[in-house]
Structure 1
Amino acid sequence: MQRGRISGLDQARSIAIIAVVAVHLSFQFPHLPQWATVLARMGQYGVQLFFVISAVTIFMTLDADRERYRAASHVTARFYIKRFFRIAPLYYVAIVAYGAMSWYTYNFDADHASILGPHDISDVVLNLLFVHAVSASAINNVVPGGWSIGVEMLFYSIAPVIFFFATSRARLVVLTIVLLLACAAFLATGACGGAALECNVRNNSFFYFWPPVQVPCFLVGIWCWALFRPYLTGQARLGRAGIGITLGTIALCGVATAVFGVWMGRANEYAPLVAACGSAALVLVCCSEANQRLMGRIAVAIGRESYAIYLWHFIFAFEALYLFKHSHMLATHGPLLSLAVFVVVLAVTLAASYMLSRLTDILIQRFASRFARGLLERVDTTFAFRQTASARVE
């Protein structure tokens, strides 16, 4: 752990963002070898890895704040301030940036289709309020990939309630059962026409993106924190047997996810939960085996910028689409050359997205963080004054 961060979690984030960028670029490379296509398309489940890491990080932060502050309302207020100013400023800029790109391509570049799906001002408002995960037109059409941010923010809204309720393993079991039953009920009635066992959710459709399918992934992250906290924080390390079990779990869940999802499409609605289970095992391995060698430091740097990279990499993915569409440079190339170009474009996209993320960190995120720290100081002062006044009365 360094400067309040767990390097293993940042390394896991780097895997997640590389996987997500890979899947979004893979559609520009139709001549990849079959195995490479399947592997790249599996990258979409990097989002579920993000969800698991998010749940772990949130509960770690809430645990730390609960040790420092007495009132649950104080801890909750701090949580919402930190989460909002971590997510909202860059997302609002992304709404403007992608809206401008879409408007330009739609109006002035007749040979280049609009980069976003149909939406109107009400969809933009839903994104500004972070409730777009419940709207089919708003969930992924205002900011590309914005569906995952909507799902995350929905989870953030209930995370403190979950945290303060699940004060024991027994309570966490009850909460898990209740949430899973609720998600199953929504899935059955909303996406499956009342017959969950006969459900056939299409991959990357609204019913794949929507919260009842994705929220169970956060439960996996919560259980990961509850069961394996010493391993996640570096207080303990997995032995050989533990490493073997976790690697086996990753492989088994990976195959099952591919069968349910992008490879065979047997049950896309269950693929995210299975992917989350494999993601939890991957997080354990990363935290147990985190290193500070060159590749480890690079992975940590990428992981720290993963949110901004996620938002901005679509710009370069769209540029790659435009380039390859007009140059026809991959039309006659064989699988191996196509794979080589794909790897180069992936590296360039990651590098460009990282540099843009650093720039937006300087121009936007640092000011947002400074403002958030000021609000947190005011909140801390207010609650300290209340506690002092209460003590005097007593």
Structure 2
Amino acid sequence: MQCSSLVKALKEYAIFGVVSIHVGPESDNLPKSIDKLADYGFRGDTLFLVVSAFTMSISLSGKPLDGRSYFIKRSLRLETMYILAIILYGIFGLIPTALPIDYILNAFLMHGISPPAQNTVVPGGWSVASEALFYILLPALLPICNTIVEAVIGLGLAYVIAVVSHFGLR
């Protein structure tokens, strides 16, 4: 199997997972095996992020990065629909527990650094936060993670940062 076919298949599995976690709980009388499979659908989002990281790392490595173009493209990709979601959820008052700071962090895609703000404005906002933080960090990580050892060290540092930010910002 070619790399592009494998990536395409993994993205399809990821999409299936995301759909199953949202549809499965709403479906009554599913066979137990299908219901159990749907429960693992939450892994679809993680798989999609990992596959995206893999493909973006390949496409960006070894090339000079035009930071302005890179960030504008990524920002427009995420911001357009997310701002619309913030406005709609705000207008209809669907998330009454959101604080003003939560709206500000969400609008600038920085709600990933504040766990309480991740899902208070738009349900599932944690996923967009993860993607935004990945896009911000990728250009800094690519030049320093060229070997498996460097990548493992980078992963360890990311884990420490995640734990500190999770417990330190509460």
Instruction: Measure how far apart 1:179 and its partner are.
Output: 2.8
- Pairing 1:17-166 to 2, within 5 Å after superposition: 17-63=15-61, 66=63, 69=64, 74-100=65-91, 102-103=92-93, 114=94, 116=95, 118-166=97-145
Instruction: Measure how far apart 1:140 and its partner are.
Output: 1.2
Instruction: Measure how far apart 1:164 and its partner are.
Output: 1.1
Alignment-mate amino acid for residue 86 of structure 1: R
Deviations 1:205-230 (A, max 9, x none): xx9xxxxxxxxxxxxxxxxxxxxxxx
Contact 1:19 1:44 in 2 (8 A): yes
**Which residue of the other structure, out of 6, 9, 13, is the alignment partner of 2:7?**
9
CA distance in 2, matches of 1:170, 1:15: 29
Alignment-mate amino acid for residue 23 of structure 1: I
Pair 1:89–1:10, CA change in 2 (3 A): farther
TM-score, normalisation: structure 1: 0.38
Tell me the SS of whatever aligns to 1:27. Answer: helix
Tell me the SS of whatever aligns to 2:61. Answer: helix
CA distance in 2, matches of 1:28, 1:169: 42
Instruction: Measure how far apart 1:7 and its partner are.
Output: 5.4
Report sequence identity in percent. 29
Instruction: Measure how far apart 1:126 and its partner are.
Output: 0.9
Instruction: Measure how far apart 1:49 and its partner are.
Output: 0.7
Pair 1:32–1:168, CA change in 2 (3 A): closer
Pair 1:170–1:133, CA change in 2 (3 A): closer
- Pairing 1:372-391 to 2, within 5 Å after superposition: none
**Which residue of the other structure, out of 156, 161, 171, is the alignment partner of 2:150?**
171
Contact 1:130 1:153 in 2 (8 A): yes
Tell me the SS of whatever aligns to 1:141. Answer: coil
TM-score, normalisation: structure 2: 0.80
Contact 1:62 1:79 in 2 (8 A): no
CA distance in 2, matches of 1:78, 1:164: 18
Deviations 1:22-56 (A, max 9, x none): 21122223432322221111111101111111211
Q: Which runs of 5+ in 2 are unaligned?
A: none
Alignment-mate amino acid for residue 112 of structure 2: A
**Which residue of the other structure, out of 190, 200, 203, is the alignment partner of 2:167?**
190
CA distance in 1, matches of 2:96, 2:40: 23
Q: Specify the alignment match of 1:200 in structure 2.
A: none
Tell me the SS of whatever aligns to 1:31. Answer: coil
